[in-house]
Amino acid sequence: MLFNSLQFLVFFIVVTTLYYLIPHKYRWFLLLIASCIFYMAFVPVYILILFATIVIDYLAGIYIEEAQQPKRKMYLAASLVANIGILAVFKYYNFFTANINDVLTAAGFTIHQVPYLNIILPIGLSFHTFQAMSYTIEVYRGNQKPERHFGIYALYVMFYPQLVAGPIERPQNLLHQFKEEHALKYENLLFGLRLMLWGLFKKVVIADRLAIYANAVFDKPEQYHTLQLALGVLCFTIQIYCDFSGYSDMAIGSARTMGFKLMTNFNRPYFSKNIQEFWAKWHISLSTWFRDYLYISLGGNRVVKWKVYRNVAIVFVISGFWHGANWTYIAWGCIHAFFITAYMLAKDNYPKVIEIIFKGYLGWLATFVIVALAWVFFRADNIHDAWYILRRMVTLDDSIRIFKQVKNFGIYSWGIVVIMISYMLLLEYVQPPDLSSLQKKYIPDVAFFTITLFFILMFGVFQQASFIYFQF
């Protein structure tokens, strides 16, 4: 069930209405059933995988609390192995198999090939697995009491607004909210609906329109020239932001209508003036997950300098691999690892130079270009295509003369894109990421609702395109 579908609109209205109509003690059950329906709308049978991780981590949480060392560690390890094992089988098995088979073929063993698994990646697997893992780690660290109510714990993993693409929540922030009684507050409804509308605008008006151009260019890069390829990369850079932050806004907004507060996932990342700042503002729930559970476990910044850089690099490479089982994602992670360690190294050794360079528009431009070029690897089908696009982009040709139009994307579409992106930038520049300052201003708020709703009706691309991050 996609957030940008009519089906979800009906689902959302029914669930939110019922949520406030029934007594508090039954609400967890309603949300759990609703979350099951939401998840099963994709591939029903995969709910069994989700159920398996829920049971394992639920029991692990209880055992960890009750046991003493070294058993505590053993239970945590068992939980992590189970979660990572599920990821390994469903997400990475075929990737490793393909690479092993390539090596075997190169070595002349053409008959002995490792068999592939004929499976579809369960939707949002990496997200709910990471959320489940954060629970057992926090219980192990003593920051969170284990949840003994199985239904509430299941809801923590399955809560439908953030089930398939985050934000990846922490138990300290979310679990207790299921036990609190949320009275109907019109402030929450207004806040949530505003954010949902904003997310829908970013998704259907900007992201899905830019996807027409970006998909055409990335699907057949050999058909395009320097200028078109550069525009394709720019389109994807904006598309992925609007797609993912749009999803996050709708997730946070739909949870908020029922009184739940989810963590902020994006904080105007493209306004960042250096790569470190970018990562503090992009996909915050994942960045902080890696910081809390991997970077700190590796020693964080309480080790000698070169180890700090090493830890940062490891985090980014693994973060790239987290996104998908393809060398392109690993390359994307490596690029960010390189730039962020280079930036840190330079900042540690030449702080004044770095301050001058990464200040003002120059810093912003440099950061934007690095991030945009890295997206080429993220979006391209394979490393070869990514290299081709990058090479072609720096080879000047006569593409202005032979400008190839992308089907269904003419001057009208470009005009809409420019106006709509300007509208988005303006709002994001003057407003906090959750648009909360509109809450206090009546007339601007009404104008926001009216204009945004009209833009969605007038300029929305309603092809019910899936969200990019659903595949992870």
Partner 1 sequence: MKKRLIYTALFSIITALVLASVSFNIINWGLAHVNKDDQGNINYAFSGKERYNVGFIGSSRVYYQINPSIFDSITHLTSYNAGIDGLKMPEMEIIAKKYIASHKGADYLVLSIDEFTLTGGNSVWDFPRYFPYVSDTSIYKLSKYQGEIALAKYLPAAALTYYNDPMKSLGIQGFIKPVKKFTTTKLKGSASVKANNQKINPAIKVEYSYNESCINILNRLCSYCQNQNINIVIIVPPILRNKNTIDIYKTGYSQKINDIANRYNIPIIDCSHNAICYKPEMFCDVLHLNDKGADIYTKTVATEFMKREGNTIEIK
| Selection from 466, 1, 438 nearest residue 239 by Cα | 466
Between residues 113 and 464, which has the closer beta carbon with respect to partner 1?
A: 464
Q: How many residues bind partner 1 (CB under 8 A)?
A: 26
Q: Catalytic annotation on 24?
A: no
Per CB under 8 A, which of residues 305..364 are in contact with partner 1?
none
Of the candidate spans 25-33, 80-88, 423-431, 457-465, the one that interacts with partner 1 by CB under 8 A turns out to be 457-465
Between residues 300 and 460, which has the closer beta carbon with respect to partner 1?
A: 460
For the bound state, the minimum distance from the C-beta of residue 429 to partner 1, rounded and expressed in Å, comes to 22
Of the candidate spans 11-19, 325-333, 360-368, 446-454, the one that interacts with partner 1 by CB under 8 A turns out to be 446-454
Between residues 220 and 359, which has the closer beta carbon with respect to partner 1?
A: 220
Q: Give the DSSP H or E segment for 49.
A: helix 47-66
Strand, coil or helix: 393: helix
Between residues 190 and 421, which has the closer beta carbon with respect to partner 1?
A: 190
Question: What x/- string results for residues 79 through 118 when contact with partner 1 is judged by CB under 8 A?
Answer: ----------------------------------------
Between residues 192 and 324, which has the closer beta carbon with respect to partner 1?
A: 192
Number of H helices, E strands in the chain: 20, 0
Q: Give the DSSP H or E segment for 219.
A: helix 208-219
125-141 and 71-87 are packed helices; what angle lies between their axes, rounded to 10 degrees? 170
Per CB under 8 A, which of residues 384..443 are in contact with partner 1?
408-413, 416, 442
| Selection from 218, 232, 212 nearest residue 413 by Cα | 212
| Residue 450 binds partner 1, judged by CB under 8 A | yes
CA distance 49 to 53: 6
Between residues 4 and 274, which has the closer beta carbon with respect to partner 1?
A: 4
Between residues 218 and 409, which has the closer beta carbon with respect to partner 1?
A: 409
Per CB under 8 A, which of residues 197..256 are in contact with partner 1?
209
CA distance 244 to 202: 9
For the bound state, the minimum distance from the C-beta of residue 393 to partner 1, rounded and expressed in Å, comes to 22
CA distance 244 to 164: 12
For the bound state, the minimum distance from the C-beta of residue 259 to partner 1, rounded and expressed in Å, comes to 14
Could you tell me where the DSSP H helices lie in 224-358? 226-257, 275-281, 284-290, 305-323, 327-349, 351-357
Q: Which residues contact 4 (CB under 8 A, 6 or more apart)?
A: 200, 203, 204, 208, 462, 464, 465
Question: Residue type for 438, please?
Answer: L
Token output for 26: 């039954």
Q: Which residues contact 116 (CB under 8 A, 6 or more apart)?
A: 94, 97, 98
Per CB under 8 A, which of residues 125..154 are in contact with partner 1?
none
442-459 and 186-200 are packed helices; what angle lies between their axes, rounded to 10 degrees? 40
Of 128, 323, 336, 384, which is the active-site residue? Answer: 323
For the bound state, the minimum distance from the C-beta of residue 413 to partner 1, rounded and expressed in Å, comes to 4
Strand, coil or helix: 305: helix
For the bound state, the minimum distance from the C-beta of residue 274 to partner 1, rounded and expressed in Å, comes to 36
Of 1, 77, 189, 346, the one binding partner 1 (CB under 8 A) is 189
User: Measured in whole angstroms, how far is the alpha carbon of residue 4 from the centre of its chain?
Assistant: 16
Of 99, 116, 453, 464, the one binding partner 1 (CB under 8 A) is 453
Per CB under 8 A, which of residues 46..65 are in contact with partner 1?
none
Of the candidate spans 54-62, 102-110, 128-136, 450-458, the one that interacts with partner 1 by CB under 8 A turns out to be 450-458
CA distance 425 to 265: 17
| Selection from 177, 166, 343, 368 nearest residue 250 by Cα | 166
For the bound state, the minimum distance from the C-beta of residue 65 to partner 1, rounded and expressed in Å, comes to 42
Residue 406 β-bridge partners: 409
Strand, coil or helix: 457: helix
For the bound state, the minimum distance from the C-beta of residue 386 to partner 1, rounded and expressed in Å, comes to 21
Of 449, 466, 470, 471, the one binding partner 1 (CB under 8 A) is 449
Q: Give the DSSP H or E segment for 194.
A: helix 186-200
Between residues 306 and 462, which has the closer beta carbon with respect to partner 1?
A: 462
Q: Give the DSSP H or E segment for 20.
A: helix 6-21
For the bound state, the minimum distance from the C-beta of residue 408 to partner 1, rounded and expressed in Å, comes to 6
Per CB under 8 A, which of residues 159..188 are in contact with partner 1?
185-187
Between residues 361 and 412, which has the closer beta carbon with respect to partner 1?
A: 412
- Which residues contact partner 1 (rule: CB under 8 A)? 185-187, 189-190, 193, 209, 408-413, 416, 442, 445-446, 449-450, 453-454, 457-458, 460-462
Instruction: Cite the active site residues.
Output: 323
